[in-house]
Structure formats: structure tokens, C-alpha cells
Structure 1
Amino acid sequence: MTKILHAASQSLLIPVILGLLFFLVIAFIELGAFMAEAKRRKANKPVNMMEVFHDVGNIAPWQMKNLQQVIDSCSLLPRQKRPLTDLLAKIYLSTELKKLIARDILDREEFRAKKVLGKTDLLAKLGPVLGLMGTLIPLGPGLAALGQGDVRGLSEAVIIAFDTTVAGIAAGAVAALISKMRRRWYEQDLGNMELLLELVVGGETRAVQENEAGPAVRRRS
């Protein structure tokens, strides 16, 4: 039984090394994508939402022009602003339907964020695990070689163990850093989108009511 267990563990060495090489490639690809995303976000300077409201003026939620200015001035990406602008333009939808659309917009953005973070989160967990496996697997034969006086065999096993450890920790560390930064960005984006969607849904209800009431009612108000 022990021989079978030893053979099984030793057979995992090549898959572990291949997995670590794959993880390193994915980590550097994600690092490049992260740097590109950081550059885009740096160009799209982050702003405080209350400062945006102040700059736009005395904003009333039902004023479409002001809301569009707020959407255009916020720090969301163009991809995130587009559904907000589309929903703002649909002034004749019922409040219930607009709430469903707003919920769907947030759910889709949250799902996208989880999908992006899922890759680096998984990499941050599995990278060190494979690194540890790559450390332990060659040490058995290395210690056996030492018992037989084969110092060269031990040194080769130790080199493999150190290399796999470094590769696993490096891949996990890069992925963990990327996940941490992205999670902070996406949480801020979701918060801003939720605030703007609440304004759009509430504001458009008032806009429809004013249009249905007619100009005489607006003059009295």
C-alpha cells in the first residue's frame, strides 16, 4: 500500500509543475489586464458623488437634464453609464418595471464583477497549494537519495522544491493583490450605480406625473 501511495504522489509532480507554469502565465495575463484597467480608471478620474451633485446645482431627482449631467460627470466607466442613460430615457415605463430593470442592471454588473474576481480569487488560493505540493513531492526521493549518499539527487530535489514554492507563492500573491484592488473598485462602482439608479427610478416617476398633469399644474407648483 505504501508503494502505491508513493507512486501516486510522485506521479503528481509533472501535473503540479505544469499547473504552476499555467498559473504563472494566467497571473501575468491578469496583471497586464489589471494595469490596463488601472490606466483607464486613472484617466477617468474618480469623483465624490456629493461634489458632482453640488457642481450640477440644486438637483431635483425628477429633472432629467440634471440627472444626465450627474451620470456624465460620475466616475463610472462608459460601459456602466450606458444602461443608466438608456433607463433615464424611458420616461413612460411604470415604476415597478423600472425597478425591475434597475435591479437587473445591478445584478448583471455584480455578476460581471464576481466573474472577473473569481479567476484571481481562485488563483490566489490554488497557487500556494500547488506550490506546497511541488515542495513536498520531490523531498521524499531527495531524502531517500540522501540516505544512500546521493547528494546530487538531494540537491536536484531541493531545487525543484524551492522553484515550485516560489512559483506558487508568486502566482498567488499577484492574484491576491489584483483581487484586492479590483474588489475595492467594483464595490465603489456598484455603490455609485445603485445611488444613480435610485435617482433615475424615483426621478422619472415624478417626470411622468408632471407631464400627465400638464403645464397648468407645473405653473401652480
Structure 2
Amino acid sequence: MIIQGTEALTSLIHIISESLLTPVVIILVIFVVLSILCLGGVINEKISRKPIMSEEFEKLVRDISFSNSPSEIENFVNDSSLFDWQKDILVKIARNHDIGSKARQALASELISNAETILIKSTNKTDILVRLGPIFGLLGTLIPLGPGLAALGSGDITTLAESLTIAFDTTVTGLAVGGIGYLISKFRKQWYESDLIDVETLAEVELESLNNQSD
């Protein structure tokens, strides 16, 4: 009875394993399409991306620091080459010049934190590709090996060759998806980290300037 029960469970696991091959291949194809779309998106972003230059950034720091009013800070920010989301944060801080200094600090922290969350979400898709691409590639490698080894035992070289071909193809596909996702995430995180540092620096300068104006 124990042997029969074990054989039944083994047969069930074998059926489940083989039935997973088609979904795994479909998911890998979807991952390939997503990775190509993400790669095109990051290339387009790189071409159109124009971060503020260091000379202009230094000038903006000095302009904000020596400004005489919140409206003057807004003008300096709006006339700069900052990204729109960076301008929105700094302008909102300037427009809340009439609240207390601690409240302004809290507002600035919240605005920057929200922006960071949005930027992180934009890299979640490629982070998923980095993790799941190789996993599904490995699944696509292991699942066909069972029938392939069984075919080898019976001398069916053709089935073995087909199983090995599927195994190698899914491995390469999974690794390629993971590699593309890793490169995209790496570049975007570097860009966004630099952007956040810029806006944090300018926000600190702006808060100090507003505090001086209110004294």
C-alpha cells in the first residue's frame, strides 16, 4: 500500500511538472516582450533626459540662498533646468512660507519621500524581471529534463534532443531577461538617486533661506 501510494503521488507530481512547461514558456515570452519594451523606454529616456548641469545647479543654490522673498525663489526654480517634479516640490515649499519652520521641514520631507516612492515604483517592473526571469528560465530547463532522461533510457534520441533544446532555450531566455532587467534598473536607479540628491540639497537651501526671511 505504501509503495502504491508513493507511486501515485510521484505520478501526480510528474503530471503537474509536465503541465507547467507551457505556462512557463508563455511567461518567458511575456517577459521577453516586457524587457524589449522597457529597454526601448530607457533608451528613449536617456536620449530625452537633460539633468541640470553642475554650473547651473551651483548658481541656483546661490540664487535661492540669497533670495529676498518666496516669490523670487519660485521664479528662480521655474526658470531653471530642473525636471518638472523637482520644480513642483520646491515651489510647494516656497508657497508654504507662512507656516512654521518645523512644519515646512516636515512638508519638504513628505514631498521628497512621495517623489522617491514614485521613482522606486517605476523600477519595480524591471526588478521583477531581474528576479523572475532566471527563475522561470531554470523551471523551463528542469521540466523537460524528466521526459528527456526517460527517452534516453528507452533509446529515443529524438525526444531527448528536443527536450535538451527546450531546456537550453529557456535557460538562455531567462538569463537574457534577467540581464536586461538588471541593466535597466541599474541605470534608472543611478539617475533617480542623483535627481533626489539634487532636490534634497535645493530643498535644504530653500528652507534655510525661508527661515532667514522669516526672522
Cross-structure match for 1:218: none
Amino acid across the alignment from 2:22:
I
Amino acid across the alignment from 1:73:
S
String of CA shifts for 1:112-169, please: whole Å, max 9, x gaps: 1221122111210110010011011101101111221111111111111111112111
Match of 1:13 among 10, 21, 24: 21
Alignment partner of 1:61 is 2:52: no
Amino acid across the alignment from 1:96:
K
Alignment partner of 1:30 is 2:38: yes
Deviation at 1:33, TM superposition (A): 1.5
**Percent identity among equivalent residues?**
38
Match of 2:208 among 202, 208, 215: 202
Cross-structure match for 1:138: 144
* C-alpha contact (below 8 Å) 2:25/2:170 kept by paired residues: yes
The unaligned stretches of length 5 or more in structure 2 are 1-8
Cross-structure match for 1:87: 93
String of CA shifts for 1:50-88, please: whole Å, max 9, x gaps: x336546955625154675367435x3223222212322
Cross-structure match for 2:56: 52
* C-alpha contact (below 8 Å) 2:116/2:196 kept by paired residues: yes
TM-score normalised by structure 1 residue count: 0.83
Question: CA–CA distance in 2 between the matches of 1:195 and 1:57?
Answer: 8
Question: CA–CA distance in 2 between the matches of 1:133 and 1:195?
Answer: 46
* C-alpha contact (below 8 Å) 2:61/2:202 kept by paired residues: no
Tell me the matched-pair count: 204
TM-score normalised by structure 2 residue count: 0.85
Match of 2:188 among 160, 182, 192: 182
